[in-house]
Structures are given as structure tokens and as C-alpha cells.
Amino acid sequence: MLAGGVGAARLLAGLVQVLPPSEVTAVVNTGDDLIMHGLYIAPDLDTVTYTLAGANNPETGWGLVGETWQAMGSLDRYGGDTWFNLGDVDLGTHLYRTGRLASGAGLAAVTAEVAAGWGLESTLLPMTEDRVVTKVTLADDGGLGNEVDFQEYFVRLRHDVPVSSVRFDGAEASLPGPGVLEAIAGADLVVVAPSNPIVSIGPLLAVPGIADAIRARRDDTVAVSPIIAGAALKGPADRLMRELGHEVSVGGVARMYRDITSCLIIDSVDTDLAGAVEAEGMACVITDTVMSSPEVATDLARTVLKQTRE
């Protein structure tokens, strides 16, 4: 699975209910990663890890259940930056990752160690071990400068400002992470998660080699639409698509993915738009895609797996 954060994590949690977890590999976006207070923070990798471990906070969609916030309270005492909330348990992950990276370990190895710490049997691969940073250009300078890092846009500005462009700094010179191309080439089925096409899947496709690898598997690649009834369930996918000139519909999603996938799974509320998907040269599968419970996620995972060619 090509994975961003919350939506991908929920579908992965469904997949490991219907497949042996060891047969599931996620290639995860690292364009959102940030260095803050000296720590290397990988939000999408952590969301996927914590969710597969059953340790995620289902209310917030990010972070850990039973989390505490002592360090943030202390940081606040000094007037430090607290807009990116870091829970105490979560901090342990960032401390470990940062320490390991500083000692020369690669992000892929550290990701595997963190996953093993939670007892995960699935494989989580960072899309790259190079630094690729999603940069968002704001239509109006919001006081932070015209171009901001993704988390400043997403968290600090609550993605509540117009965007004029998005780029993936460092992507051109980056290499796919260890195992990424092999995982795509060897998969029975490649799944594009219902993640934000622009800022979650976009960075993966910007790493040279990954889009080509998926294109070569187009007949075995299925995407789940993150757009339902013309809107995103969560986050700024709809707004970003509109602002960057895409049609905010399952047809618009099909147009973005038609080169890399042969099938789009859409929600039943969009049944009457199946023709628009097929008009892009893709098969269209209709099912419930709103993963409001683990059961729906498991059912969606089953539908996804049914697209595997014999």
C-alpha cells in the first residue's frame, strides 16, 4: 500500500484482519516529516505504526491513546513552540528515532525497529531515506512567509488558508527507500490508500522510480478514493484539489490516478459517478468506503483484495 496517515492506517488495520499481517507492506509518505526541538518526527510513519499496534487515539486520529502532555506543559512554561503537539509517550518514539539516526542508522532500519517494538508483523517502509520536504505556497502570506513546510500549513494554520502550489523539496535527488521498488514489483496487489492525493500520495510519486514502478504494475494497482460526495472526510484533500485545479470528485481522483491504477474504488454515495471513473479508462468498484468502524475497514479491505488478479 502506498500510504499517507490516518486513512491509510485505517485501511491497513482492516487488511491485517483479512490477510496474515506479514503479507502486508506499506510504503509510507515522509514528506510531512519535520525536525522540531532537535527531534526527527515522522507523523505518517507513526500514525501507521500506532494504528496497526491498536495504540492510536481513535478520537483525534493521531497520537496515542492514554497519552499525557507533561513535556508540552513544560515547553509552554518557557514560551516554546507548542503548536505541534507532542505527547510524552510519543516523544519516546522521536527520542529513539533521533538517537538512532544520529548514530548513523537509516530511516528504514529505525522504522523497522520501531515497528518491532510494537510487535508489528507487517513491513513499513519509508518512501525514501533522503530528506524530501513537502512545501506549501500560500496564496496569501499568512505572516509566516509565502512558502511553509507542510506541518505549518496543516497543523499551525489548520489548513484553513488558500494554497497556490505544492512542491516536494529534495525529491528530484532522492532515492526510493530500501525495499520500496522491490515491494511494488513483487506485490500481488498494489493499493493506493484513500490518502490525500496531493500531499500524501504526491510525495511518493515524486521520488524518482516509484511512479514508474507503479505504472509498470498498473493492471495490479487499485486506488481507494479519498473523495466522497465531492468532499474529503478529513483534512484538506478537497480544498487542495480545488485550489490546484483538480475536479473535486471521484472523476477528478480517477484523472489524477489513471496513469498508475486500473481500478478506483468509490463510495456508494457516488454510484452515479461510476461512469466518470470508467471514462478515464479505469474499472470502478462501488462499496462503503467511510471507515467509521474497524468492521467497515475490514469489509473495505476485503473488497480491495478482491481486485487481485488470479
**What's the burial of 66, exposed, middle or buried (CB within 10 Å: 0-12/13-18/19+)?**
exposed
Q: Which is nearer to a copy of itself, 87 or 236 (CB)?
A: 87
Number of chain residues interacting with a copy of itself (CB under 8 A): 37
Contact in structure between 269 and 149 (CB atoms under 8 Å): no
- Side-chain half-sphere exposure of 257, counting CA atoms within 13 A: 39
Tell me if 162 contacts a copy of itself by CB under 8 A.
no
Distances (CA, A) of 75 to 14, 70, 80, 97: 37, 9, 5, 21
Q: What is the per-residue binding string for a copy of itself in 93-132, x denoting contact by CB under 8 A? A: x-xx-xxxxx----------xx--xx--------------
Q: Which is nearer to a copy of itself, 38 or 104 (CB)?
A: 38
Q: What is the per-residue binding string for a copy of itself in 40-69, x denoting contact by CB under 8 A? A: x---------------------------x-
Measured from the CB of residue 218, what is the shortest distance to a copy of itself in angstroms?
38
Tell me if 83 contacts a copy of itself by CB under 8 A.
no
Instruction: Write the DSSP symbol of residue 22.
Output: G
Tell me if 85 contacts a copy of itself by CB under 8 A.
no
Measured from the CB of residue 108, what is the shortest distance to a copy of itself in angstroms?
15
Per CB under 8 A, which region of 2-10, 32-40, 186-194, 211-219 contacts a copy of itself? 32-40
Contact in structure between 96 and 114 (CB atoms under 8 Å): yes
Tell me if 13 contacts a copy of itself by CB under 8 A.
no
Tell me if 70 contacts a copy of itself by CB under 8 A.
yes
Q: Which is nearer to a copy of itself, 54 or 281 (CB)?
A: 54
Contact in structure between 304 and 13 (CB atoms under 8 Å): no
Grid cell listed for 8: 491509510
Pairing of strands 227-228, 190-192: unpaired
Widest Cα–Cα separation across the chain: 60
242: helix, coil or strand? helix
Query: Which residues sit at the interface with a copy of itself, rule CB under 8 A?
Result: 36-40, 68, 70-81, 86-93, 95-96, 98-102, 113-114, 117-118
